[in-house]
Amino acid sequence: MEIKCHRIASGSARGQSLVTRDAISFLGNVDANTGMVVDPAHELFGQCIAGKVLIFPGGKGSTVGSYVIYQLKKRGLAPIAMINIRSEPIVAVGAIISGIPLVDRVEEEILQVKNGTLVEVDADLGLVRISEWID
């Protein structure tokens, strides 16, 4: 199915979803050298965000998080695209400076997509395509 969304950072990508209901503080929650979520309190603890279409409500925490996203990208460990319910400046800026497609303003239902679902993000057209929707 196809969902309309709002472009924050341009580009398009397709990959497997990694979904969380927790906001992400890239500084602190994610290890810039491995792409692993290292905060035991986070729903994605122990998972790797590299190459995934990362679906999460939005960012939080230190503004240094923007640079962490950039560092992940340079090391080939960044998500291939990101989808937020509502983007805030840390993730928005991080995605833009890193050239990672980012969209927001989608319904919260998207947080019910199962991990590993094939998701396509086309930020320039403002569209998200999901191969199989939830029951």
Partner 1 sequence: MYLSREEESIYQGERGETLRRMMEILVALGDIYGAEKLVPVRSVQIAGVSYKNIGEAGLEWISDLQGQVVVPSILNPAGMDLCRWKEMGVEEEFALKQQQTIEAYRRLGVTIDCTCTPYQIYQGPTSLAGRGDHLAWSESSAVSYANSVIGARTNREGGPSALAAALVGKTALYGYHLDENRLPSHLVEVEADLRGSDYGALGFLVGRSVKDGVPFFRLKNQQPSGDELKALGAAMAASGSVALYYVENATPEPPAAWQPKETIRLGRKEIDEVYAKYPVAGADAVALGCPHCSGQELEKIAGLLQGKKVQKELWICTARKIAEAHPHLVATIEESGARVFCDTCMVVSPATERFSRMMTSSGKALAYLPGLAGVQAGLGSLEECIDVALGRRQ
Which two tokens mark 122? 């086309």
Q: Of residues 17, 62, 66, 87, which has the active-site annotation? A: 62
Residue from the set 54, 87, 117, 128 that interacts with partner 1 by CB under 8 A:
87
Interaction between residue 68 and partner 1 (CB under 8 A): yes
List own/partner pairs for 87-91 with CB under 8 A and 24 or more apart: 87/8, 87/58, 87/59, 88/58, 88/59, 88/60, 89/63, 90/26, 90/59, 90/60, 90/61, 90/62, 90/63, 90/65, 90/66, 91/24, 91/26, 91/58, 91/59, 91/65, 91/66
Instruction: Verify whether residue 62 is a known catalytic residue.
Output: yes
Shortest separation between residue 104's beta carbon and partner 1, angstroms: 9
Q: Which of these segments, 35-43, 49-57, 82-90, 111-119, binds partner 1 (CB under 8 A)?
A: 82-90
- Positions 107 through 126 that interact with partner 1 (CB under 8 A): none
Distance of CA 125 to the CA centre of its chain: 18
Which two tokens mark 53? 């279409």
Q: Which of these segments, 17-25, 37-45, 67-75, 113-121, binds partner 1 (CB under 8 A)?
A: 67-75
Interaction between residue 56 and partner 1 (CB under 8 A): no
Interaction between residue 44 and partner 1 (CB under 8 A): no
Please say whether the beta carbons of 77 and 103 come within 8 A. Answer: no
**Residues binding partner 1 (CB under 8 A):** 6, 8-10, 32, 63-64, 66-68, 70-71, 74, 87-90, 92-93, 96-97, 99
Residues identified as active-site: 62
